[in-house]
Amino acid sequence: PFSDGPDYLQRLNPEQRTAIETTDGPLLVLAGAGTGKTRVLTTRFAHILLSGRARPNQILAVTFTNKAAREMRERVGALLGTPVEGLWLGTFHALCARMLRRHAEYVGLTSGFTILDTDDQLRLLKQVMEPYRIDTKRWPPQGILGVIQRWKDRGLTPARVTPAEDSDFAGGKCRAIYTDYQTRLAQLNACDFGDLMLHMTEIMRTRPDVLSQYHRFFRYILVDEYQDTNTIQYLWLRLLAQREGQPANICCVGDDDQSIYSWRGAEVENILRFERDFPGAAVVRLERNYRSTVQILGAASGLIAHNDGRLGKTLRPGRDDATGEKVRVVSVWDSDDEARMVGEEIERARAGGHSLSEIAILVRAGFQTRAFEERLITLGIPYRVVGGLRFYERAEIRDALAYMRVLNQPADDLAFERIINVPRRGIGAAAMQKFHLAARERQMPLAAAVMDMIARGELKGRAREQMTALMSCLARGRDALPREGQVVVVETLLEESGYIDMWKADTSPEAPGRLDNLKELVRALADFESLAGFLEHVALVMENEENAGAERASIMTLHGAKGLEFDTVFLPGWEEGVFPSQRTLDEGGLKGLEEERRLAYVGITRARHRAIISHAANRRIYGNWQSAIPSRFIDELPSEHVTLTGAAAQARQRGHGHVPVFASAFPVMARRPRVTDVADGGATTPERGIAVGTRVFHQKFGYGTVSSKDGNRLEVAFEKAGLKRVLDTFIEKT
Ligand code: ATP
Ligand code: MG
């Protein structure tokens, strides 16, 4: 429609062009998913430069993640035809850190200040709290840190916290602790993440000279994902944008339906007050979605319509080429089946020439990644866990595995060293040195040396008490293993050693996720016939290094997927208690549920061509099987855009007899059919018929002959390595 104007404006629709060419004055772009908000922002950046309105370093552009910043930098470079340097483009934190280095002295720091991580923060806070004699059982330090962080999110320095704000938590001592904590930070020439924004905002509030310097400097401000800004970010933006006697050249793009960070203090109201704060603001609405097919859009729009109090936006298909496939809802037996289904679909897509980097599995919670990771490794499909660690690399999983290793193998010094003081048992560096020395002198493994020292009365006080307790936990576990099996024993060990309690006492936002990961680990353990077998399996799985550069499928959380797009998106675990999350259900409020629904909307709208939702009929809660109820969000999808494929057909094929499509009709299962039943049935791995007596090759152990077989687990007599139990998936026939 528009043949005039420069090249880079050609392929935009009229509303997008308006948003780009309205360069001066405040502008809010309010639009649904995939309507080109980010593209508008990028093109606007290029347009400002190409039309000579500003130099590259005179534009301030805020993205939500570092990844988004990188992409925007590349896209701007591509539009300009040359890479650009020195841009003020990044996340709020990155931009603030850079600014603060220039003005650190105004808040009592020098420009070389350190930024503390969460562990350091907590350690420091505990020191600060000591003189206050707070009952830390009742008011754990993590909770107090949370209070402080929320104050920082709201732009409240200690001086700005009113006594009224300080009433309930920790008996009204938070404000004083906060003050001391900030003083200590300054003494250490350090700040925490929250301080980056807080300090910069405070400097701009109190130093007009600094502020006007930035006002002269930044001519244009661009902000992506505006719906997820919190109060301090909002204050910071407003300070920078409102310039005396000049228009506020600020352009924010956002979508109220994608506000998913209220748990981190984000205020969707910031969108609503934009027109009040910046009088004369233009508001542009984009309605054409260029990302997704008609079917995907229909499903997403129908779902989000169940939320109240929306600003209300229209979404129309912008690509006339694609009605596309309906959104698929697949009901599966359990999470292993779910992983199998996803794995098969990915293999099929790959065989059909689709790129793995165009495929994503989006989970609600971190624990869900395990089943998919293992399946993809088994199938040899390269993947990456975006924005997080692979399941078996997570700290709590490594800790728990270390407990298991010591249980299995008392001489495993590395594992013992990892757990000896986790949770805290008063074993410091000096004590550790003593243990090592004893172990060397007496030529014993570390754990045995500790036992020996206890026996000889060489350990005193708390250390003796704690070490005795730990060692007897381990001994009891070893003793019970043959009788009670690995699941019960490991669960008991993690409980009795205080490891689980350590995370239960932790009130940081990540702690519940860690506990879920631990539960998932114990669930996985149940699939193996022995603890040793499981540990070997983990070692083998972890051996599969990610090969850099290769095309990989992405696994990530729904929160991490904001702003991204993929051809094919898998949305597993749509069950009540998983998604919406159990926590949301327990809290019972409408607000939480609506945020979960927005998260579902974000999930579906990541897909260009295919969205595949799944839910398992059964989830194992520790050793027991329970039937799971499909997510209410599945019912809310408009039926004309959805096809249901059920467990029924699959189950019949696997010999479960008649099974209704929906999980709510499943009885509570005491135990699932064994994994091996399925594998032997050949339903999923028909090619793996490795018989006893077959000569095989294994990556790590070399050549050998299969001596016995239990489903997909083989016992192989290796020529060099001896007799080993291995999974058939790691074996090749020769
Ligand atoms: P989200 O709300 O998910 O962040 P968004 O509104 O930022 O989405 P973009 O990511 O900018 O949307 O755009 C979605 C897709 O549509 C991108 O692949 C983009 O290149 C494409 N697109 C945007 N505008 C147009 C257009 N006018 N013509 C063709 N494709 C377009
Ligand atoms: Mg975007």
* C-alpha torsion 252→584→264→559, nearest 10: -60
Give the pLDDT of residue 58: 94
Ligand 1, residues 2, 35, 285: which to mutate, most atoms within 8 A of Cβ? 35
Catalytic, out of 225, 267, 334, 594 = 225
- Give the mean pLDDT of 394-416: 90
Local structure of residue 733 (DSSP, 8 states): E
CA of 200 to the centre of ligand 2 (A): 26
Ligand nearest to the CA of 37: 1
Give the pLDDT of residue 700: 62
Predicted confidence band at 198 (pLDDT cuts at 50, 70, 90)? very high
Q: Is 328 in the pocket of ligand 1 (CB under 6 A)?
A: no
Task: Please say if 619 is a catalytic residue.
Answer: no
Q: Is 592 in the pocket of ligand 1 (CB under 6 A)?
A: no
Taking residue 233's Cβ as centre, other Cβ atoms within 10 Å add up to: 25
Question: For residue 154, what are its two tokens?
Answer: 């709201």
Give the pLDDT of residue 262: 83
- What 3-state class would DSSP assign to 615? strand
**pLDDT at position 107 over 60:** yes
CA of 476 to the centre of ligand 2 (A): 55
Q: Is 672 in the pocket of ligand 1 (CB under 6 A)?
A: no
Ligand 1, residues 13, 20, 38, 313: which to mutate, most atoms within 8 A of Cβ? 38
Local structure of residue 104 (DSSP, 8 states): G
Among the listed ranges 448-457, 541-550, 639-648, which one has the minimum average pLDDT value? 541-550
Local structure of residue 365 (DSSP, 8 states): S
Residues 6+ apart with CB under 8 A from 553: 346, 356, 357, 359, 360, 361, 376, 381, 382, 383, 384
| SS3 readout for 226-247 | HHHCEHHHHHHHHHHHCCCCCC
Amino acid at 149: Q
Long-range CB pairs of 126-132 (<8 Å, 24+ gap) are: 127/184, 128/177, 128/180, 128/181, 128/184, 129/177, 132/170, 132/173, 132/176, 132/177
Provide the β-strand partners of residue 332. Answer: 616
Phi, psi of 23, deg, nearest 5: -80, -35
CA–CA separation, 480 and 270 (whole Å): 58
**pLDDT at position 508 over 80:** no
22 in Cβ contact with 51 (< 8 Å): no
Q: Full-prediction pTM beyond 0.80?
A: no
Catalytic, out of 42, 142, 182, 258 = 258
Predicted confidence band at 679 (pLDDT cuts at 50, 70, 90)? very low
In what helix (H) or strand (E) does residue 186 lie, and over which residues does it extend? helix 174-187
**37 is an annotated ligand-binding site residue:** yes
Q: Is 603 in the pocket of ligand 1 (CB under 6 A)?
A: no
Question: For residue 479, what are its two tokens?
Answer: 């003793």
- Could you tell me the domains of the chain? 7-97+198-286 (3.40.50.300), 114-188 (1.10.10.160), 316-382+551-673 (3.40.50.300), 393-525 (1.10.486.10), 676-734 (2.30.30)
Q: 657 burial class (0-12, 13-18, 19+ CB within 10 angstroms)?
A: exposed
Local structure of residue 172 (DSSP, 8 states): G
Task: Please say if 606 is a catalytic residue.
Answer: yes
CA–CA separation, 256 and 304 (whole Å): 11
664 in Cβ contact with 627 (< 8 Å): yes
Q: Is 20 in the pocket of ligand 1 (CB under 6 A)?
A: no
**pLDDT at position 668 over 50:** no
Give the pLDDT of residue 699: 61
Q: Is the model more confident about 675 or about 243? A: 243
Model ipTM over 0.90: yes
Among the listed ranges 163-172, 254-263, 683-692, which one has the minimum average pLDDT value? 683-692
Task: Please say if 258 is a catalytic residue.
Answer: yes
pLDDT digits (tens, 9 = 90+) for 557-586: 999 999 999 999 999 999 999 999 988 999
Q: Is 36 in the pocket of ligand 1 (CB under 6 A)?
A: yes
Task: Please say if 37 is a catalytic residue.
Answer: yes
Which atom of ligand 1 is the closest one to the Cα of 606? Answer: 3
Q: Is 34 in the pocket of ligand 1 (CB under 6 A)?
A: yes
pLDDT digits (tens, 9 = 90+) for 482-506: 998 999 999 999 999 999 999 988 8
Phi, psi of 604, deg, nearest 5: -65, -40
Q: Which residue has its alpha carbon closest to ligand 1 atom 23?
A: 36
Whether the bond between 580 and the residue before it is cis, its omega within 30 degrees of 0, is: yes
Phi, psi of 190, deg, nearest 5: -135, 160
pLDDT digits (tens, 9 = 90+) for 249-305: 999 999 999 999 887 777 778 888 888 888 889 999 999 999 999 999 999 999 999
Give the pLDDT of residue 594: 95
**504 is an annotated ligand-binding site residue:** no
Q: 168 burial class (0-12, 13-18, 19+ CB within 10 angstroms)?
A: exposed
CA of 315 to the centre of ligand 1 (A): 13
Ligand nearest to the CA of 561: 1
Place of tokens 């939480």: 592
Among 103, 97, 202, smallest CA distance to 156 is for: 202
Q: Is 16 in the pocket of ligand 1 (CB under 6 A)?
A: yes
pLDDT digits (tens, 9 = 90+) for 347-387: 999 999 999 999 999 999 999 999 999 999 888 898 988 87
Give the pLDDT of residue 163: 84
- What 3-state class would DSSP assign to 191? strand
Task: Please say if 24 is a catalytic residue.
Answer: no
Amino acid at 632: R
pLDDT digits (tens, 9 = 90+) for 624-655: 677 889 999 999 999 999 999 875 434 434 44
